Chain A
Amino acid sequence: MATHPAPPARSVRDAVDDLLTPGTVAASPAVPVENPFRVVGTDRHGDPIAKLVRPAGGRIIGGVAVGIADHLRVKVLWVRLTFAMLALLSGVGVLAYALLWIFVPQSRGAEPHRPSATERRQAIGIAAVGAALAVLGTALGLGQSVGWIVGPLGLASVGAAFIWREADDAQRQRWRRSAAGVVGETRSGLWRLVGGITLVVGGLAVFALGQFDVGATGGALVAVVLTLVGVAIIAIPWWIRLVRDLGAERREVVVQQERAEIAAHLHDSVLQTLALIQRQAADPREVLRLSRSQERELRAWLYGPAGYATSSAAAVTESDATVAAALATAAGEVEDTYAVKVTPVVVGDTAMGGVGSDMHALVAATREAMVNAAKHAGNPDISLYAEVEDDAVTVFVRDRGVGFDPDQVGSDRRGLAESIRGRMDRHHGRATVRSTRGEGTEIELSMPIPVRPAEPVASDAVAPSGAGPEPRQVLPR
């Protein structure tokens, strides 16, 4: 995480200020997130690439020439001249114009551009020349000789044009970029392109010459093969680059989404808590409580079973169904309620069992012991150690507080100890209290793990498939 190119536009301070201003909390937006798709669809100059459309205004006949000129960023005069010249070849130009007129959609919204009178005259002139050339070409029979070439070639061009037109903006932009890369990036790319073009042109020349030759078929075959090779040489690196770019873009999108998720989580959790802490700065107890619960929450989010830092394989379905998780939850609750610090250490783990099971009683007694320590010890540090062995779970709750003489305890404390002890006794457990005045108290709770009978009938609430001993469950904490 050394680089962080997507910083929130607002500082943390701003966000906290917003939170602290009444009325803006609900309306406070999440940290603004760059729309990862916004940049796609512009060319390398940053202008959006217009789809090929015929402008509603500024047209002389059908607006086809203006549309193409806009799309290809060339002068409209050249487009018109090209149509006129193509008209010489048995009217191909006229046919193309007509087809484009039919198939290219007209743009909605009038264009501000209005052709000047000169331009209008010029365009009409070119159109007239084109029509004349079409007639001339037909009269001279040029169509017969070149039709061989123009026919297939024209079909191919129309196909290419359609693919180009149907591709969406993003794809077209990638094509342009990668095409530019092929030509511009390396010398070898340039040579590939030149070689390909030479092959294409050479092939076509042989094909054209073959029309007047006796051995036309052989020459044509060679030409076609050469053409295909040329096309492959151009297209393959292009294609590879396209695929690589796509992968890079997808990765970028994933990274950005991840960043957005982290930003959103931090906004919802840490920033809110920091705002609360600023408000409660005069109350150290409350500040401690808030920061501890926030730390616990963030830790669970980062390192927990389904946490951010752990692999997805670790994202097992985990609830309070195990002793370790239940103890951690209880410790967290006591921390929050009494503004003390509980350090839970749990070695091993086992299933909780159903409601009312021995393990539930053990967790409840542990909780009670922690509450006692929090209330009476006078020291905000409590350690909780639990060890799950094959046959029993042992829990130690220890504080370094004032301590007391177990023989001379007041009735209230005695009652609390009894509630722990009583609960343990009812479930065949054992509770031991060790306390020394001035050195603190340790409560040891021990609960045997019920041995599951081999026959599946006996265990009803605990494990329906109680065949054999329960496999030891070990879960990350």
Chain B
Amino acid sequence: MSTPVTVFLVDDHALFRAGVKAELAGLADDRIAVVGEAGTVAEAVVRISAERPDVVLLDVHMPDGGGRAVLEQVHARYPEAVFLALSVSDAAEDVINVIRAGARGYVTKTISATELADAVVRVSGGDAVFSPRLAGFVLDAFSDRAGAAPLVDPELDMLSPREREVLRLLARGYAYKEIASQLFISIKTVETHVSSVLRKTQMSNRYELSRWATDRRLV
């Protein structure tokens, strides 16, 4: 990768933005370069459209609508942006919410700088970044056990057994490489499975996954 991946930070805490920037700079990783930051939804929308970064690291909880508002407004102006949610919250509804709004991955703020850099590079390459917790939520959401919502469009909505298997291994804390060797498939195939899971999550119309939230008494 000759040109570095450009990264834009959106977080309402200036201190946190400074910390992430310092940590990424401290890696001396020439794969990524932080090109800008914003502290409010409005500022982010304007500046992302102007800076045109490859990846936006997006906080979920912000005043004026939070990360979801940024996602929706930027998408209209600059659809090429890739979003990676970086949040302190790992509540199921937050995670599912931004993933369904179009984020390409979700990591929590306790992530190490190296892992974050890897995640950024991965999402910019068209991949999805699933933490074990996120994999657990998705498995839960697509659960076809008794009591779950009935299928509306089986073609679109169901996870294939292989995808389920990949997700399960992800939830168990396996790295992509380990999943590949465990299932005797290539890493590329693992990535394809994960991306298609992400696509299904975003497009799923299983009662808009709202039933999922209702099942958990989240709404």
Q: A347-B139, A390-B145, A472-B145 are in contact. Are A313 and B132 (CB under 8 A)?
A: no
Chain A residue contacts of B168, Cβ below 8 A = 385, 387
Instruction: Answer yes or no: A343 CB below 8 A from chain B CBs.
Output: yes
Number of interface residues of B (CB under 8 A): 26
- Nearest to A382 among chain B residues (CB) is B173
- Which residues of B does A touch, CB under 8 Å? 63-64, 89-92, 132-133, 135-136, 139-140, 143, 145-147, 168, 171-174, 215-219
Q: Which residues of B contact A303 (CB under 8 A)?
A: 89-91
Cross-chain pairs A/B with CB under 8 angstroms, 8 sampled: A314-B218, A343-B133, A345-B133, A347-B139, A348-B140, A385-B136, A472-B147, A476-B216
In the bound assembly, the distance between CA atoms of A348 and B145 in angstroms comes to: 9
- 6 closest Cβ contacts across the A-B interface? A383-B173, A345-B136, A303-B91, A472-B147, A2-B63, A385-B172
Q: Which residue of B lies closest to A2 (CB)?
A: B63
| Distance in Å: Cβ of B29 to nearest Cβ of chain A | 22
Once the chains bind, are B172 and A309 in contact (CB under 8 Å)? no
Total residue contacts A-B, CB cutoff 8 A: 74
CB distance from A374 to the nearest CB of B (A): 15
Given A347-B139, A348-B145, A476 contacting B218 (CB threshold 8 A): yes
Q: B215 touching A310 by the CB < 8 A rule?
A: no
Q: Which residues of A contact B64 (CB under 8 A)?
A: 2
- Could you tell me the distance in whole angstroms from the C-beta of A12 to the nearest C-beta in chain B? 14
Interface centre among B63, B147, B172 (most CB of A within 10 A): B172
A161 lies within 8 A of chain B by Cβ: no
A385 and B132 within 8 A (CB): yes
- A474 CA to B137 CA, complexed, in Å: 12
| Bound CA span A347–B147, Å | 14
CB distance from B132 to the nearest CB of A (A): 5
Given A345-B133, A347-B143, A385-B132, decide whether A310 and B172 contact each other with a Cβ distance below 8 A: no
B147: chain A residues within 8 A (beta carbon)? 471-472, 474
Grouping DSSP codes into helix (H, G, I), strand (E, B) and loop, the B interface class, with mixed when no group exceeds half, is loop
Tell me whether A346 is interfacial, beta carbon within 8 Å: yes
Q: Quick check: A396 and B217 within 8 Å, CB to CB?
A: no
The answer to whether A345 and B171 touch across the interface, beta carbons within 8 angstroms, is yes
Q: Which residues of A contact B90 (CB under 8 A)?
A: 299, 303
Cβ-based interface call for A475 (8 A): yes
How far apart sit A212 and B160, CA to CA, in the bound complex (Å)? Answer: 99
Query: B133 — which chain A residues lie within 8 A by C-beta?
Result: 343, 345
Is B139 within 8 A of A477, CB to CB?
no
Q: Which of A302, A383, A389, A477 contacts B92 (CB 8 A)?
A: A477
A476–B143 contact, CB under 8 A?
no
Contact B145 A442 (CB under 8 A): no
Q: Cβ of A51 < 8 Å from any Cβ of B?
A: no
Query: How far, in angstroms, from A390 to B139 measured CA to CA in the complex?
Result: 15
Q: Could you say which residues of chain A place their CB within 8 Å of the CB of B140?
A: 347-348, 474
Q: Does A80 contact B (CB under 8 A)?
A: no
The residues of B that contact A387 with a CB separation of less than 8 Å are 139, 168, 171
Given contact pairs A303-B91, A390-B145, A477-B92, A311 touches B173 in the complex (Cβ within 8 A): no
Cβ–Cβ contact B217 & A476, under 8 A:
yes
Check A347–B171 contact: CB distance below 8 A: yes
Residue of B135, B139, B217 contacting most chain A CB atoms (<10 Å):
B217
Considering the complex, give the chain A residue whose CB is closest to the CB of B94.
Answer: A303
Are the C-beta atoms of A474 and B216 separated by less than 8 Å? yes
